[in-house]
């Protein structure tokens, strides 16, 4: 496609592309935009080195290879800030530049946004289900090693308290949290479990009383007794990773209190998703460790974003394909709310022509890149702002929009395109 456009002279035409989702994943009522900062961090250095060009020269003509050798994006990008909620049809990202430079970015931006947004959207549902109790991201061993780092960042952005992934801490500053594994207990205890107490004492000697002891390797009640015997009533936490978690949490809480460990917290894990977390709301659980469901998007491993041409040389263009129609032209969006702050609708409109709405409203699209240069905050500052934005967005939804059950999107999207 690029080679053909360069050959016929259309590669330099000024174009506008839009990234959006035709629909939310099944049963979802909202999505959370994530990946913006990772995309912007990759953009300035995005190009093709000698090794890549050598490979491409086997498939592409010399003119196309020369173009790629000198590639640098010099256009403009607008979009929803990271952490903003989105819905079907939201113009999440708008890219403007020559056809050639816009099309080269397609795979980069779709791969980042589709992954990170899927994780953040699932994580936000889990945060909502947890009702203020902390969640720990523990999914690194359930996904690709590089995706694990991005998933930890996306989960933290959506409200998770931290991650067990040290690379996510090094790369993005995500707080590190974690517990021990059954292997450590088995190392000391052997087949009979007689050394569980020794394992706990060893862990406390290395990590201090604030550590979390895994008490379900053999028998939960015995494990709790050994944990308190090893640490005393000042033990930080115990973790349960198997069994009927709700029932066990009640039993463990009663046992800890009887033993004087009234301040010891209970962490549960074991194939949790948002529905399992919600089912544990009445149990005396203090925090949750979530792995597989989180890093796979809890049933929706991609956000379903597409990247479509909507403008050529200032004129709107659109697809008419059945079931995949697009609305042409540059667009922005605003979100209208009641005076109380509860949002009521999202309105998509031609750029620069906002419609009249009842009540307070705010424009969602903001400048991200101008002339190829970043014009927005990035890195740690951006992550902190995105985290706050998710929390504020969830708080602004009508209560029906936070339901986990199948239903309509939290708010309707209205197209005011004239």
Q: What is the CATH number of the domain that holds 250?
A: 3.20.20.70
pLDDT at res. 193: 61
In this structure, is residue 295 part of a structural domain?
A: no
Are 186 and 238 found together in one domain?
yes
270: left (phi over 0), alpha (psi -120 to 50) or beta: left
Are 313 and 404 found together in one domain?
yes
pLDDT at res. 192: 62
For residues 74-102, average pLDDT: 98
Q: Does residue 379 surpass a pLDDT of 70? A: yes
In this structure, is residue 279 part of a structural domain?
A: yes
pLDDT at res. 237: 98
Percent over 70 (pLDDT), the chain: 99
In this structure, is residue 378 part of a structural domain?
A: yes
Are 281 and 304 found together in one domain?
no
Are 35 and 68 found together in one domain?
yes
End-of-domain residue from the set 228, 251, 285: 285
End-of-domain residue from the set 285, 309, 328: 285
pLDDT at res. 410: 97
For residues 179-205, average pLDDT: 87
Are 186 and 259 found together in one domain?
yes
In this structure, is residue 161 part of a structural domain?
A: no
End-of-domain residue from the set 285, 313, 344: 285
Are 99 and 190 found together in one domain?
no
Alpha carbon distance 383, 53 (integer Å): 34
Q: Does residue 285 surpass a pLDDT of 80? A: yes
Alpha carbon distance 136, 147 (integer Å): 17
In this structure, is residue 147 part of a structural domain?
A: no
Are 373 and 337 found together in one domain?
yes
pLDDT at res. 191: 59
In this structure, is residue 324 part of a structural domain?
A: yes
For residues 362-383, average pLDDT: 95
In this structure, is residue 280 part of a structural domain?
A: yes
Q: pLDDT (tens digit, 9 = 90+) per residue, 215-268?
A: 999 999 999 999 999 999 999 999 999 999 999 999 999 999 999 999 999 999
Q: pLDDT (tens digit, 9 = 90+) per residue, 320-353?
A: 888 888 899 999 999 999 999 999 999 999 999 9
How distant is the alpha carbon of residue 326 from its chain centre?
26
| 28: nearest Cα among 390, 398, 402, 414 | 402
Are 371 and 272 found together in one domain?
no
Are 312 and 281 found together in one domain?
no
Q: Does residue 407 surpass a pLDDT of 80? A: yes
Q: Does residue 418 surpass a pLDDT of 80? A: no
Q: Does residue 383 surpass a pLDDT of 70? A: yes
Look at 35-44, 219-228, 403-412 and tell me which has the smallest mean pLDDT: 403-412
- Number of structural domains in the chain: 2
Domain hosting residue 229, numbered range:
179-285
The number of residues making up the chain comes to: 418
Q: What is the CATH number of the domain that holds 17?
A: 3.20.140.10
| 202: nearest Cα among 182, 192, 188, 191 | 188
Are 67 and 37 found together in one domain?
yes
pLDDT at res. 322: 83
Residue 235 phi, psi (nearest 5): -60, 140
| 128: nearest Cα among 412, 406, 391, 411 | 391
Q: Does residue 211 surpass a pLDDT of 80? A: yes
Are 270 and 317 found together in one domain?
no
Mean pLDDT of the chain: 96
In this structure, is residue 308 part of a structural domain?
A: yes
Are 277 and 311 found together in one domain?
no
């Amino acid at each position: 496609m690029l080679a053909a456009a360069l050959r016929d002279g259309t590669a330099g035409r000024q174009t506008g592309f839009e990234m959006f989702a035709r629909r939310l994943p099944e049963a979802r009522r909202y999505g959370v935009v994530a990946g913006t900062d990772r995309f912007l961090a990759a953009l300035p250095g995005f190009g093709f080195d000698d090794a890549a060009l050598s490979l491409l020269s086997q498939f592409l003509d010399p003119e196309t290879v020369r173009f790629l050798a000198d590639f640098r994006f010099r256009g403009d990008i607008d979009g929803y800030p990271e952490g903003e909620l989105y819905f079907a049809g939201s113009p999440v990202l708008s890219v403007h530049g020559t056809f050639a430079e816009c099309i080269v970015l397609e795979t980069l931006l779709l791969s980042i946004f589709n992954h990170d947004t899927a994780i953040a959207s699932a994580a936000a549902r889990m945060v909502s289900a947890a009702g203020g109790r902390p969640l720990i991201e523990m999914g690194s061993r359930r996904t690709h090693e590089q995706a694990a780092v991005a998933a930890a960042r996306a989960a933290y952005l959506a409200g998770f308290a931290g991650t067990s992934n040290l690379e996510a801490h090094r790369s993005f500053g995500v707080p590190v949290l974690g517990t021990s594994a059954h292997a450590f207990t088995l190392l000391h205890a052997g087949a009979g479990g007689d050394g569980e107490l020794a394992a706990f004492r060893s862990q406390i000697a290395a990590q201090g009383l604030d550590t979390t002891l895994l008490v379900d390797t053999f028998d939960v009640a015995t494990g709790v007794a050994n944990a308190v015997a090893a640490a005393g009533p000042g033990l930080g936490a115990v973790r349960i990773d198997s069994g009927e978690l709700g029932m066990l949490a009640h039993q463990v809480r009663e046992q800890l209190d009887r033993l004087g460990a009234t301040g010891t917290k209970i962490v549960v894990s074991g194939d949790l998703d948002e529905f399992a977390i919600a089912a544990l709301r009445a149990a005396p659980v203090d925090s949750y460790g979530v792995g597989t469901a989180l890093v796979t998007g809890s049933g929706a491993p991609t956000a379903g974003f597409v990247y479509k041409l909507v403008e050529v040389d200032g004129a709107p263009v659109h697809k008419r394909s059945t079931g995949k129609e697009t609305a042409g032209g540059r667009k922005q969006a605003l979100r209208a709310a009641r005076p109380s702050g509860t949002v009521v609708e999202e309105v998509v409109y031609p750029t620069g022509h906002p419609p009249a709405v009842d009540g307070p409203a705010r424009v969602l699209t903001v400048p991200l890149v101008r002339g190829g240069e970043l014009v927005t905050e990035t890195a740690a500052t951006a992550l902190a702002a995105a985290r706050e934005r998710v929390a504020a967005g969830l708080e602004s939804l009508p209560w029906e929009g936070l339901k986990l059950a199948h239903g309509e999107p939290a708010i309707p999207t209205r197209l005011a395109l004239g």
